[in-house]
Amino acid sequence: MSDAPPAHSGEGGNPTRAGERKSAPPLSRGRAELRVLLPNTPMQGRRERALRIALPIIVLAIGLLLWEAVVRVSNVPPYVLPGPGRILQTLVADWSLLGRSLLVTLVTTLEGFLLAAVGGVGLAVLFNQSRLVEYSLYPYAVILQVTPVVAIAPLLLIYLPQQAAVLACAWIVAFFPVLANTTLGLNSVDRNLSDLFSLYGASRGQKLWRLKLPSALPYILGGLRIAGGLSLIGAVVAEIAAGSAGAGSGLAYRIAESGYRLNIPRMFAALLLLSVAGVVIFYVLSLINYLALRRWHESALGADR
């Protein structure tokens, strides 16, 4: 274990260095490519970040300008395809209506998400604690997941009050990723740590609370990140299924209603709000994920070591 062998392998065993001497041009190009992938100075890191923000915005701006230009130049009527300007106008003009609908959909989504989080984690813990319960119920969780929610929604709307049916749809779509991920996490406990807990006579509760749940946390958060988007989808699907028959006034209901009335600008405006809501949900959950894991889990650590 002297210093000599590593020094030797550093000189002779490094193919890039050998290549540098023989043929400079290909290597320098390789380095430039590498620099784009892995920024290695703070300045390059900043430029990298700026590009990541600026480029999508530029693409968006170009797309919107083209869209607006096509609509104006070829005089497309707004009930066929409204331009972005018109959509924005509608969004502002109809804000009192759309804003209320947004709130309704968001509340449903949040409720569905919370139920999915509690239900998914709760079921996973239950399955983990009792094999009999797992064997009895897991197949039905899978069936619930693989049956398309669009097909279940009309039935739920018959048997449940509309608000409950919408909530049930959001829950059905969203709980499974939480359940599956949490189950995986609870089963991924370090075996030596588990032995250590046994050695010190830890109770089942202590093992669950101090070992299994913290071990599973990264998996749970990953499941929740998926569930956030899915509960929005579940809420929207149920609102659409409820359609004009329901008294609901969520964003999806607005879209369906505007469709019947050929109010295409309002359809686009509602759609825009839905997308923004989905993106915000995703980033809020990502932020929570980062804040909870940044000090210890590989997934949330920075590139610096």
Partner 1 sequence: MSLPDTTALAAPLVALRGVGKIFAGGTRALAGLDLDIRPGEFVSLLGPSGCGKSTALRIIAGLSEPSEGAVAWPSAAGRGDKSRLGFVFQEPTLMPWASVFNNVKLPLDLQHVPAATVADRVDAALDRVGLTEFHHAFPRELSGGMRMRASIARALVTEPQLLLMDEPFAALDEITRFRLNDDLLQMWRSLRTTIVFVTHSVFESVYLSSRIVVMAARPGRAFTELTFDPPSGRDQEYRTSAVYAENCRRTSQALAHAMAAGGEP
Q: Closest separation between CB of residue 268 and partner 1, Å?
A: 45
State yes or no: residue 199 binds partner 1 (CB under 8 A): yes
- x-or-dash string of contact with partner 1, 237-276, rule CB under 8 A: ----------------------------------------
Which residues, at least 6 apart from 26, have a Cβ–Cβ distance to it below 8 Å? 19
DSSP state of 212: I
Which residue among 39, 125, 278, 297 contacts partner 1 (CB under 8 A)? 297
CB of 143 or CB of 199, closer to partner 1: 199
Q: Closest separation between CB of residue 296 and partner 1, Å?
A: 4
Half-sphere exposure at residue 150, Cβ-oriented, CA atoms within 13 angstroms:
2
Place of tokens 């139920």: 115
Place of tokens 């693409």: 59
Which residues, at least 6 apart from 25, have a Cβ–Cβ distance to it below 8 Å? none
State yes or no: residue 197 binds partner 1 (CB under 8 A): yes
Tell me which residue of 272, 265, 274 sits closest to 93, measured CA to CA: 265
201: number of Cβ within 10 Å: 7
Q: Closest separation between CB of residue 199 and partner 1, Å?
A: 5
Q: Which stretch in 17-25, 143-151, 198-206, 223-231 sits in contact with partner 1 by CB under 8 A?
A: 198-206
Euclidean distance between CA atoms 130 and 172, whole angstroms: 23
Which residue among 80, 132, 192, 302 contacts partner 1 (CB under 8 A)? 192
- x-or-dash string of contact with partner 1, 202-221, rule CB under 8 A: x---x---xx--x--x----
CB of 1 or CB of 247, closer to partner 1: 1
State yes or no: residue 11 binds partner 1 (CB under 8 A): no
Q: Where would I find the H helices in 187-305?
A: 191-199, 204-206, 213-242, 251-260, 264-293
State yes or no: residue 7 binds partner 1 (CB under 8 A): no
Q: CA 69: distance to chain centroid?
A: 34
State yes or no: residue 190 binds partner 1 (CB under 8 A): yes
Euclidean distance between CA atoms 84 and 269, whole angstroms: 9
- The site for partner 1 (CB under 8 A) is made up of 1, 190, 192-193, 195-202, 206, 210-211, 214, 217, 295-297, 301
